[in-house]
Amino acid sequence: MGRHAVQRLLMAIPVLFGVVLVGFLLMQVVPNDPALVRAGPSATPDVVEALRRDMGLDRPLYEQFGIYLWRLVQGDLGVSIINNVPVVQELGNTVGPTLELMFASLIWSIPIGIALGTIGAYWRGKLADRLITAFAVAGGSIPVFFLGLVLIWYVGFRLQLLPFTGRAGPLWTEEGLKAIILPALTLGGVFIGPVARMTRTAVLDVLGVEHVRTARAKGLGEFKVVTRHALRNALIPVVTLVGLQIGFLLGGAVVTETVFSWPGVGRLAVGAILSADFPMAQGTIIILSLGFIIINLVVDVLYAALDPRMRT
């Protein structure tokens, strides 16, 4: 299992390289000129030209990329061309809040999604199943920003129950906890549907397998039959699918952070792209991709932990 993880880790390196390359090239395609952005609208052409040389933008593309890569492996992602803050420092400040938001969103939505999916599978075709399926489809179809706006308007604005702008401190303080509820409800809310649907399918598959009949023949209660012999096995595919979905949830985090002014990587990315802050935008792309890769690694390890057949 250890070798398996190391193997996966090594395989992540070319993936990451690809991400850096694509991110770099994307920024070249954007019609904005970084030197022009840096110099400001009132700068003379001479100043812009000098800046371009200074920033190395007059060199051939491969050379620019080589320099970027060389700095990257040293942990240097450049400085923001808007406010001169090192990109690494800005990323360091925003990764925490994003992780916090992801955690607060997943901690409740995954268990609820799995429970709903299991209930739906067990009572397949019954009223409970139909309600859950309808809920899952509806939930999965609501855009993140819309759910966020509805929560802001109703819970935050009309009822004045919870704050809805920004982060108010770490999770373990009362203010911090209150501030994260609405963003976490938004981001987690759109996740319940997909998790429930995937779980329902997986549990349904396992419920038809002979070993479930064996479990019943032993005289086990239905709760044990479903949890230990159906859900436990179904978790193997569910973990894989949920892992993939968490990657896509990073996209949802970008929207949620923007809607709720949550000071995370997603909002940083949007801000950087809108203001043509090239190094910053590239940095956020790299960090979000890294997140995706790490999640996939965790899924791989979890997969082996859940399935004894993978261990030998």
Residues 117 and 195 sit within 8 Å (Cβ to Cβ): yes
CB of 81 to another protein, least distance (A): 53
Length of the chain: 312
CB of 306 to another protein, least distance (A): 7
Residues 287 and 95 sit within 8 Å (Cβ to Cβ): yes
Query: What is the end-to-end Cα distance of the chain in Å, rounded?
Result: 8
Binding site for another protein (CB under 8 A): 209-211, 213-222, 224, 228-229, 232-233, 236, 306-309, 312
| Angle in degrees, 0-180, between the axes of helices 174-207 and 87-122, rounded to the nearest 10 | 40
The amino acid occupying position 199 is: T
24: its two tokens:
């770099």
What is the number of helices (H) and of strands (E) in the chain? 13, 0
CB of 235 to another protein, least distance (A): 9
CB of 255 to another protein, least distance (A): 37
Which CB sits closer to another protein, 57 or 220? 220
CB of 232 to another protein, least distance (A): 6
Which CB sits closer to another protein, 167 or 229? 229
Which CB sits closer to another protein, 63 or 222? 222
- Helix or strand or coil: residue 207? helix
Which CB sits closer to another protein, 69 or 236? 236
Which CB sits closer to another protein, 53 or 224? 224
CB of 122 to another protein, least distance (A): 11
Which CB sits closer to another protein, 71 or 228? 228
Residues 114 and 200 sit within 8 Å (Cβ to Cβ): no
Residues 138 and 193 sit within 8 Å (Cβ to Cβ): yes
